[in-house]
Amino acid sequence: MKFVFVNAVLLLANAHAFTCSGRFGVSSVALHSTVTEKTDVATETATPRTKEKRKVLTEPNLWEYNFGLQDPKIPLPHGLVQDVSPPEKFQVTEEQIRTLEEDGVVLLKGVFDEEWVDYMRKATTFQTENPHFWAFAGTASKLYDYIQRNVWQTNRAFANFYYHSAIGDVLRQCGRTDEIRVSTDLLMVNPNKGFKWHQDNQNGPITTDEGIRFWITMDETPKDYGAPVYLKRSHFNTAVDPEAVFVDINQEGLEEYRDQQLEFRTMPGDMLIWHPRTIHKIDGPEDGIWESYRRVLGGTVAKGGTLYHDKRGTGGVLSDLGKHGLVDGDKLDSPFFPIIYPRPNKHEIAERDAGRVGRNFNDIVSKVGGMITSTSTKKFASFFAVMGSRSK
Ligand SMILES: O=C(O)CCC(=O)C(=O)O
């Protein structure tokens, strides 16, 4: 409960600082990330030699955070021209789509080539070296070395990724739909101790059947940990409360799923796609110290025909803290949830670039305020229970 409240306050603090600061360009800040060299520490007896573990990325200092829009101006891959070139395409096979539908998850290898991986790494390096205040709550909570929700809203390089890469084309094939909108995304660098078994409820203001989850990695999975693991076909389960985040896989009703675990050792440019109800986990190192980068852009897209669902009163509201004016039952049609397939929309891009797509202090107060009630705290607590410890 205390943790819940502290996080809510952190979110409020974020929003307040953002509102008060208005729109700034990218300010110059000191670099906080450190690439470490492993040091051999000799004991007095000279045996045995042990290696000191150091994080590859350290938490930003409070004064290093930036506000407003950021644009690292990274040239697009393949000679693509910003706001001119149409989004790229990538062919998904019928077999891969069926695997997603039947197993609840599919790995698409090599969707993004070296140029795209290099582009995303540069965008991520820029972001961690110029941390945004919207990353403050998650990063200060030590869940990740860096985590920022809706990074596309503040960092133009990530917005360009959605506008110009093949992500929309891949996901419309996977969802058998003719339209894809970004519902919410997350830049996740090094998930410390990892995430225990969970299903996803941070999908934005949509239902689980309207959404498709995606996860794009920029790095090879370390040898001993960090591989995403899924319970095959668990998106069909009827045992887990739809509001729950944390899942005890030994609970009644999960017998047919718990032993069918699919583990993916992913490579840079690979893409995992799953149904939001598919139960999954990621284990980090025991001590939570990542000595190498694990950079992922993940999130949820909405299929064509999706409606806006107001999730006030549940933890689900955390991925919908903008003042977009949509009300429950409206068509999900707003620059806050930009269309990326068949093609991005100039008006929606302009709204984003004008800084009108973001979090709003008043909206956060009303939405998060509604969450801290006795009925909703249990659901909200489940969201945080899932973080920060390895599952066996
Ligand atoms: O990659 C991570 O750090 C967590 C991924 C995950 O479990 C999710 O996005 O739901």
- Of 83, 115, 127, 160, give the one whose Cα is nearest residue 296: 127
Mean pLDDT for the chain? Answer: 84
Token reading at 319: 């991925």
Q: For 43-59, b where at least 16 C-beta lie within 10 A, e where not — what string?
A: eeeeeeeeeeeebbbeb
Tell me what pLDDT residue 335 has: 97
Q: How far is the CA of 285 from the centre of ligand 1 (A)?
A: 15
Residue whose CA is at the smallest distance from ligand 1 atom 9: 298
244 lies in some domain: yes
Tell me what pLDDT residue 36 has: 27
Residue-wise pLDDT tens digits, 82-103: 999 999 999 999 999 999 999 9
Tell me what pLDDT residue 319 has: 80
106 lines ligand 1 (CB under 6 A): no
Length of the chain, please?
A: 392
34 lies in some domain: no
234 lies in some domain: yes
The band of 313, judged by pLDDT with boundaries at 50, 70 and 90, is confident
Residue whose CA is at the smallest distance from ligand 1 atom 3: 191
62 lies in some domain: no
CATH code where residue 250 lies: 2.60.120.620
What does the alpha-carbon distance between residue 161 and residue 165 come to, in Å, rounded to a whole number? 5
35 lies in some domain: no
147 lines ligand 1 (CB under 6 A): no
Res 234 pLDDT > 90: yes
What does the alpha-carbon distance between residue 252 and residue 5 come to, in Å, rounded to a whole number? 31
295 lines ligand 1 (CB under 6 A): no
Structural domain boundaries enclosing 354:
2-23+72-385
CA distances 42 to 37, 50, 174, 289, 338, Å, are 16, 7, 53, 21, 55
191 lines ligand 1 (CB under 6 A): yes
Residue whose CA is at the smallest distance from ligand 1 atom 5: 282
Q: How many structural domains are present in the chain?
A: 1
282 lines ligand 1 (CB under 6 A): yes
For the chain, percent of residues with pLDDT exceeding 70: 79
Q: How far is the CA of 282 from the centre of ligand 1 (A)?
A: 7
Q: How far is the CA of 85 from the centre of ligand 1 (A)?
A: 31
Tell me what pLDDT residue 322 has: 83
Q: How far is the CA of 44 from the centre of ligand 1 (A)?
A: 42
pTM: 0.84
Q: How far is the CA of 390 from the centre of ligand 1 (A)?
A: 13
Which of the listed residues 124, 141, 150, 195 should we mutate to test ligand 1's pocket, taking the one with most ligand atoms within 8 A of CB? 195
CA distances 188 to 259, 294, 363, Å, are 28, 8, 25
Q: How far is the CA of 172 from the centre of ligand 1 (A)?
A: 21
Res 292 pLDDT > 50: yes
37 lies in some domain: no
Residue 157 near residue 116 (C-beta atoms within 8 A): no
321 lines ligand 1 (CB under 6 A): no
33 lies in some domain: no
156 lies in some domain: yes
200 lines ligand 1 (CB under 6 A): yes
Q: How far is the CA of 204 from the centre of ligand 1 (A)?
A: 15
